Structure 1
Amino acid sequence: MNQISSQSESELERLLALSNLGIDYYEPKQGLNFLTELAAKICGTEISLVNLIDSFTQWSVSSYGIEISQMPREESVCQFTILNDPNEGLEVEDLSADERFKNKFYVKDAPNLRYYMGVPLTSPEGYNLGALCVMDSQMMHLSEDVKEILRLIARQVVDRLRVNNLVASLKNKLKESELNQKKLAHDIRGPIGGVIGLADLILDEEVTADPEEIMEYAEMIKFSSLSLLDLSKDILTKDFDGNSQRSRELKEGETNLVKLKDTILHLLTPQVTVKKIDFNIFLDQENQFESFSKLYILQILGNLLSNSIKFTHEGGEINVHMKLNRKELDLTLELIVEDNGKGMTRDKIQEILEDGTSTDHGTKGEIGFGLGLNLVRQLVNQQNGTIEIDSKLGEGTKFTIHLKVN
């Protein structure tokens, strides 16, 4: 039992390390395609992939020789690679002769893969986040020298992912600084307005003592105050229009409700199509074009939806409601995910909310890794958000999440 608990804790830490990279699996990854092609050329293989593995899915964030974006984690070869030592990796000279893979679709059907060599993508903290792999339709064997070069390329892939994340983080900090500047300008508008009001009172009063001097001072106060007020207005409106229906062009690290909907549909349509699930995303039109930080949003929503897909019967229904609420300069994202799947008991809900972990099988026997919802809870808490779960066994589940997304 302790060993299982230790393995679950280690896997959760791995998933958190992956989430902390803040990767949007839909967006192009700067600098990765060259490294992916280089791996295939050096190894002399037809195919090369950079795969990142979360709780449910293997995401191919860069590919050479094949067009693929995702597959269920339990169908992949790389799920075994990340269990290995980074200095070794996993080599399978004939996938069709290996009991684990001989019946997989990519072995029995096109591209009829036979050879596989994968090395873990290991973070500086020692977590295997995914794998760099090369594959071919012919049986092969790579020399140790070539394998060592593949490991070096894998390190470059990890470095590139970290650099991309650092750049996105710096851009977010810059945006935060700009927001603080706007808040500061917003805060000084009140006192300045008071000074103007006082100046108006002085100007309106019939003063007998040194009226010319008082009038002169009053005019100076009003002139200075109006100048400051105009300045603060310029700061508040610079590249920012809170009343505009369409926001400015989205920067890296940002999204809006319309863009988020398109991204989720692109990422998850293959999964819902396989199970013939009626999948709908509804947007609240107010603020739908307002930009906000997408940090952890895809990880949270992706894990929630993957969980719903897993536990919703074939032909079932999943609905997503997204709303962005603005209160002055604060933005709060409301996410609601509803399904008519298997549902959960009160004990199961309590287990999720109290840091418990267990593994269940999906409606089509999908293997669960028991950590998707645990990861969601941790990420929501990390963002000082809230999560509510309403579920009835045999009827379905509703998740409601609120996140500050300034």
Structure 2
Amino acid sequence: MKSAPEHPRESERLALLDQFQIMDTEAEQTFDELTELASTICGTPISLISLVDHERQWFKSRVGLTASETPKSIAFCSHAILQDEVFTVNNALKDDRFADNPLVTGAPDIRFYAGAPLVSHDGLPLGTLCVIDQTAKSLTGEQTRALKILAKQVVSQLELRIKNRSLQKMNENREKVFSVIAHDLRGPFNSILGFSRRLTGKSDVMRPERITEMADSILNASMTVYQLLDELLQWSLQRMGAYNLNMRRQLLSHMVDADQKLLQDSLDVKNQTLRKNFSDALEVRADATLASVVLRNLISNAIKFSPPGSAIEVQAAEVGTMVEISVLDRGPGISPVLAEQLFKGPVESHLGTYGEYGHGIGLGLCYDFVKMQGGEIWLDRVGSSGSKITFSLPRAN
């Protein structure tokens, strides 16, 4: 028996097969009908839709066979996916590659095999639509052509599954964006409009301190809108697959300084300070845009929930092959109930110590962006003495 060699683009082929999320799924009528049709047209008692992964061939659909899979090493389909055309074995007993194959010497006693590769639009074979008989035989030209056409229909159905999943995901993302726009943007926009109208109509009779308070409120609301719109843009690009990751050496200190400049007005309004507790020479390997979104979101949350006059701290240290970066606030802390929801999706918004508006996608976005860069993010501390959220990024070297 001769096992088939690996496909020349085996790693790409397996990665593509994973994307289809088809392995070990339940039987589906669409595929079963195509398998039955192949068996009828080719006049064989057995017909299979066989998908070949790294160690087995698994049957998405089968006619005339009870087994759901076989080892890849003995699979006829492992040979078939290496071919551009239908792979045919007219009499396995007279073929050196298969004469002593367990599938020939024992059940299902294969003598005849014909497999049409299931080739994706990327030119990579996922498996085969094959027909099998216990008697040596040949297919006619019309039967061979029909088998190829049916194989293309199988691929079309597989790719349709991906498109349907993408459409469903796009609809879910669209609803999430609309929800954020409708709920989270309305509050700060109403604040900006309300305070602006009052300043426009009554600034000449207001006390200077009141004018300053209202100007600070407008600034806070504007910063919230800016941050939310920026996060929505980055989140949408990432979810649509339009973002190109650019991992490079980054000085962590420079990244924190850049985010502090953007958030300095918010710090000044609450008379807060931002402290860096790590070496100025510490470097990470990161995408500057994504890492900045994560840092800015965590620092912004710390500003929001920390009391006036408090200090917010950014800590960092090398741990093995990673750099762990923490943002500590002096706020009321995160309850155990809320802690369970963090990083799993949108969470309920809460007002900050100055009534700042929150929004639901921030930490979920942080989770996605950290994972994209090969790191992890977690809540380091739960309780009433402030919060500490830590995330990791690869070391620069």
Q: TM-score range by the shorter chain?
A: 0.3 to 0.5
Using CA pairs under 8 Å that are at least 6 residues apart, name the structure with larger relative contact order, 1 or 2.
1
Question: What's the TM-score once normalised by structure 2's chain length?
Answer: 0.46
Question: What's the TM-score once normalised by structure 1's chain length?
Answer: 0.45
